[in-house]
Each structure stands twice: as C-alpha cells, then as structure tokens.
Amino acid sequence: QIPRDGNSPEMGTTFNEDIYVSEKHDGQWSKNYNLGTPINTLRNEGAVCISADGQTMLFVGCDRDDGYGSCDIYISKKFGNNWAKPVNIGPPINTKWGESQPSLSPDGKTIYFMSDRPGGYGGNDIWKSNLQQDGRWGNPINLGPKINTNKNEAAPFIHSDNQTLYFISKGHIGMGGFDIFVSRLNDKGEWGEPVNLGYPINT
C-alpha cells in the first residue's frame, strides 16, 4: 500500500492497493517498486497472477468504469518490457457478483478463480473457465463438492504440473480458520479428496 491524496474525489481512503515488483538477482530480492500505469490506477489492484511464460498477467481491479461488479478480473499482455493496457476479461467470467483471485494454468488454457456467483455450494466457491477454440473463455464450471463446501473456499493456485491444486477452505476439516489444502486430478479428470497441508504450514 502507498499513501494517496485523501482529498481526491476518486479515492475513498488515503491508502490504495497497488501491484509491486521485486526482481531476484544473484539470489537476492531487489527493493520493490510500483508497477505503475497502465496496470495500477487510483483504485484497487491486487491478486496478481503471471503466466508460465511471463507474458500474460491476470489481476483483480475494483470499482473501475468498465467493471461488471465491484471487483473484476483483468488481463494484460507484455510487449518487450511493457505491459499493455489491461482489458476486462468480461462475461461469462465477470458478473455482477464477485470474481477474484485468478490462477492461470501453465498451458494458458484454464483460469481458476473464486466467486460467490449463484450455482455454487455456499459462500465463495472455486470455479474454472476453459479457453475455447475461438479464443473466448467458456462458461465457468464449478469444481464440485470434492473442492467446494457450504462454507468459503478461496485463493486457488494451479501447480505447473497442471494437476495439483492448492486452495484455502473453511469448510474442510482444518486446524483453525482458513487452512491450505491440496487436491490432485486423477486419470479420469476428477479431483481427489483435499488434503490438509498440516502443521507447520497450517496452525
């Protein structure tokens, strides 16, 4: 967070969420810097995801003029050293309900995300959308009752093997509050029973 002008008509607070970058050189992380425009605005940006090839960014932008809900998922492509102006990924992923915390599969063909849209199992669920042959994102699919419960699931992260999903949940048996779980796809394309990562990760 960085201080902003609290008197700005576009700002409701004196702090705003932005995306920052730190680069690793010789095993050491550099001092972070603000990614700047066109990614960051006077409104909130966060929950960033970078594709495996480093050329596509997904993130969440809130209260933008082109939004469908309070917070939407946006996409930007990198050209050289610069990120292009982000585009609202639009329907059917973004709706008047909340969509957030995108995770892009390593092949770039599936977006996992959190949403409280209707059709889920309760609270926030984890959904996915597959890239279609025409280049559009398909209708979101709920990951089902192995992953989602009648409480909240969030923060999906798909591993580089494209078969291992990490997420947090309050509905699966845990150690307190949100715990981190892992589930793996079997040969039939079905998610296995989530496993609590246990102590010392979860407390």
The overall pTM is greater than 0.85: yes
Res. 52: pLDDT tops 50: yes
Given a contact cutoff of 8 angstroms between Cβ atoms, the answer to whether 45 and 17 are in contact is yes
| pLDDT given for residue 14 in this prediction | 54
Question: With contact defined as beta carbons under 8 Å apart, do 174 and 197 qualify?
Answer: no
Residue 144 has pLDDT above 90, yes or no: yes
- Taking the mean position of all CA atoms in its chain, how far away is CA 127? 11
First to last CA, the chain: 27
Q: What is the mean pLDDT of residues 92-108?
A: 96
User: What pLDDT does 7 receive?
Assistant: 36
Q: Please, are residues 134 and 104 in contact by the beta-carbon 8 Å criterion?
A: no
The gap from C-alpha 183 to its chain's centroid, in whole angstroms, comes to 18
Token couple for 47: 């929950």
The model's pLDDT over 148-182, given as tens digits with 9 standing for 90+, comes to: 999 999 999 999 999 999 999 998 988 988 999 99
* Backbone torsions φ then ψ of 86, nearest 5 degrees: -65, 150
* Residue 17 pLDDT exceeds 70: yes
**Structural element, H or E, at residue 157:** strand 153-158
Binning pLDDT at 50, 70 and 90, where does residue 1 land? very low
